[in-house]
Amino acid sequence: MLNINNLHVQLEEEDKQILKGVNLTVEPGKVHAIMGPNGSGKSTLSYVLSGKGGYEVTEGSATLDGQDLLEQEAEERAAAGLFLAFQYPVEIPGVGNMTFLRTAVNAQRKARGEDELSAAEFLKEVRAQAKSLKIDAEMLKRPVNVGFSGGEKKRNEILQMAMLQPKMCILDETDSGLDVDAMKLVAEGVNALRSENRGFLVITHYQRLLDHIKPDVVHIMANGRIVKTGGPELALEVENNGYADILAEVG
Amino acid sequence: MVALDQTQVKDGVDQETVDAVREVGGEYKYGWETEIEMEYAPKGVSPDIVRLISEKNEEPEWMTEWRLQAYERWLQKEEPTWAMVNYPKIDFQDIYYYARPKSMEVKPKSLEEVDPKLLATYEKLGIPLREQMILAGVEGAEKAPAEGRKVAVDAVFDSVSIGTTFKEELKAAGVIFCSISEAIRDHPELVKKYLGTVVPVTDNYYATLNSAVFSDGSFVYVPPGVRCPMELSTYFRINAENTGQFERTLIIADKGSYVSYLEGCTAPARDTAQLHAAVVEIIVEEDAEVKYSTVQNWYPGDEDGKGGIYNFVTKRADCRGDRSKVMWTQVETGSAVTWKYPSCILRGEESQGEFYSIAIANNMQQADTGTKMVHLGKNTKSRIVSKGISAGKAQNTYRGLVSMHKKAKDARNYTQCDSLLIGDKCGAHTVPYIEVKNNSARVEHEATTSKVDEDQLFYCRSRGMDEEEAVALVVNGFCKDVLQALPMEFAMEAQQLVAISLEGSVG
């Protein structure tokens, strides 16, 4: 479903190469995890895939169901079914969470040539999804992410994901800043969305999130490349021995 | 859009924002013209023209005299130059001061008799002059009563009022709502008592000119203890070329009464600038409350600054009675040049003044707007919330005065001025004047300036919104405090207007 081929990326403003030939394929129904030390390019990969400005692709390709992602605007990628759960969700003062969600849902429906959801349909859906993430009515009314705790912000990202029903979900360090209970809630939310036609790319530093969201494939990223790929046992190896051994092994 | 094409921008998102803003040109929705036979007074202003306007309105002698005196005073006054606006010198003798559709020569007795062309004009503007419910839109519709809400409209076309709706129903409640020319004829005692008592004839250059040549406008009187049963509104349309619109509005809220009033304004897109110099006076007696909301959408001129309305307006409310309250809310999106400071004189003890403003300046627009809160009475309170948004090459200035007089014991003011910049060729300026003459008064002022944040825009876009929607959402969030102060139906209209004036998406 998601095909990344020899992707090279540098910063637009300085001549600094960050991704140096990433190859990755995520099949529908699978959960892939990317682990790696700080500065290995994990977050850059998620930003480039979702269309953030400031990066220049110098070589390679990325496609979603055969569509060239890199040619599309961020909103076109979203409408095509790509979703990024942000590591640092952005605050938008004055814009109610519900308004934001509804605008997003309807924008995507419109882009796909579907009818907008009526207020009643939307409300029913959002209430059901919010309930399972333990998001109360008050949090839905508050401005987007403003004054939210770390856990609330991440749960809110998963709520957006649940409402937008993407094909391909990228979770960028969704576990950062979460206590154990919050992490369980978030993981439950993600697991509820697992299905045979949806792919996941879970970016994380630590094994602990992967205890709750069981990956099919684990990749280790270092210095702008995927240096090792394996099964869930690879995550445990990192947990026990750190990255040093693996990095030494691959040179 | 030549000017914007040369814009140098620093980073990717700003360029895109500038592109979005670039598309605004030609998006002014109300730029069309009504072809209708007009009757003009000769160009220019003189005692004869003043007499002619007075005569057209069938005014009594005292009114003619009042106007002539104003004219004499105007000759002695000088045009103010202190505002941060630049425009070519206005030739006051090259303007028509009176333009009336020929079909209005014989005054229609009811709306049924009004020229269908005029009715069609307002229909097209979305202001049908029928006595019907205004149905609320989707968002927040649950708060509206199921049967909708009634809004009475006074429609002013160039120099004359063409009709007022719901007059009879309002009359039954004791409320007088009519054109000011009608009020001068039918309620001279009220007009004599209040006209010019809030904005004196000699107040300022434009107000003095207005006092001499005003042609029409609205009049509202709400008797003691009456809560006006519906929203009142006046819709101003400038249609004729080279014509100035000088309207005069007088609102009197007697003891313990309440009224909510809204004005809207549009004009055709023309290459030559046109003058609009209005005066609004509001009198608020003991325990009375007035809400005055404006959605100003005059033609802003083209992207190079050609044409547009010069909006030089004096608006003032006098909170005469104890515990009286006035609330100004304005959404200023149009006009080439805006010079406007809706103000409150807080005379009564515990009287309150509030000013909520959104001013959007795009392309070459210039806005110099704000308020004056003059605290005279004990325990008076005022609150100012101003949101200025600048895009293109526009300049946006907040200018405000908070004055605490000697007797204004324990008076309080809170001011918040926020500016948002889109692109890097525009400017935002905040000029607060604060005078405090007693040491029990408390004045707070907060000001911020920010740019539309690229992370916010990316966040919205990664969820599927296009750039226009993203900008509109972020800007509407920025304006929320003010939008909430508007009556619900108009808040939605204003929200869309904010989006349109910034993005060029046809709402």
Which architecture characterizes domain A2-250 according to CATH? 3-Layer(aba) Sandwich (3.40)
Question: Once rounded to an integer, what is the mean pLDDT over residues B431-451?
Answer: 93
Question: Once rounded to an integer, what is the mean pLDDT over residues B438-447?
Answer: 94
Under an 8 A CB cutoff, do A93 and B477 touch?
yes
Under an 8 A CB cutoff, do B476 and A94 touch?
yes
Nearest to A160 among B453, B463, B467 (CB): B463
Apex A242 CA angle, A240 and A248, nearest 5: 125
Decide: B216 and B185 in contact? Cβ < 8 Å: no
Q: What is the pLDDT of residues B470-497, one digit of tens each?
A: 988 998 899 888 888 887 767 777 777 7
Under an 8 A CB cutoff, do B464 and A100 touch?
no
Residue B81 predicted with pLDDT over 50: yes
pLDDT at A197: 93
Under an 8 A CB cutoff, do B455 and A103 touch?
no
pLDDT at A27: 96
Nearest to B465 among A50, A75, A91 (CB): A75
Residues of chain B contacting A53 with CB distance shorter than 8 Å? 11-13, 454, 458
Decide: B384 and B400 in contact? Cβ < 8 Å: yes
Residue of A nearest to B140 (CA): A119
pLDDT at A251: 67
pLDDT at B115: 84
Smallest CA–CA separation between B335 and chain A, in Å?
Answer: 27
Nearest to A107 among B141, B466, B474 (CB): B466
Residue B505 predicted with pLDDT over 70: no
Nearest to B461 among A75, A95, A164 (CB): A75
Under an 8 A CB cutoff, do B461 and A79 touch?
no
Residues of chain A contacting B481 with CB distance shorter than 8 Å? 94
Residue B367: CB atoms within 10 A of its CB come to: 33
Q: What is the pLDDT of residues B382-391, one digit of tens each?
A: 999 999 998 8
Dihedral Cα B434, B439, B442, B447, nearest 10 deg: 30
ipTM exceeding cut-off 0.90 for this assembly: yes
Pairing of strands A199-204, A31-35: parallel
Lowest mean pLDDT among A24-38, B2-16, B178-192: B2-16
Q: What is the pLDDT of residues B230-283, one digit of tens each?
A: 889 888 888 888 888 999 999 999 999 999 999 887 777 878 888 999 999 999
Lowest mean pLDDT among A116-125, B33-42, B126-135, B328-337: B126-135
pLDDT at B20: 41
pLDDT at A169: 97
Under an 8 A CB cutoff, do B464 and A94 touch?
no
pLDDT at B489: 67
Report DSSP letters for B116-173, one per residue. HHHHHHHHHTT---SS-EEPP-STTGGGS-TT-EEEEEEEEETTEEEEESSHHHHHHT
Under an 8 A CB cutoff, do B465 and A107 touch?
yes
pLDDT at B125: 77
pLDDT at B401: 96
pLDDT at B369: 94
Q: How far apart are CA B234 and CA B229, in angstroms?
A: 16
Residue B341 predicted with pLDDT over 70: yes
Question: Once rounded to an integer, what is the mean pLDDT over residues A3-8?
Answer: 97
Residues of B with CB under 8 A from a CB of A: 11-13, 138-139, 141, 453-456, 458-467, 469, 473-474, 476-481
Under an 8 A CB cutoff, do B12 and A95 touch?
no
pLDDT at B503: 52
Q: What is the pLDDT of residues A93-147, one digit of tens each?
A: 999 999 999 999 999 999 999 999 888 889 999 999 999 888 888 999 999 999 9
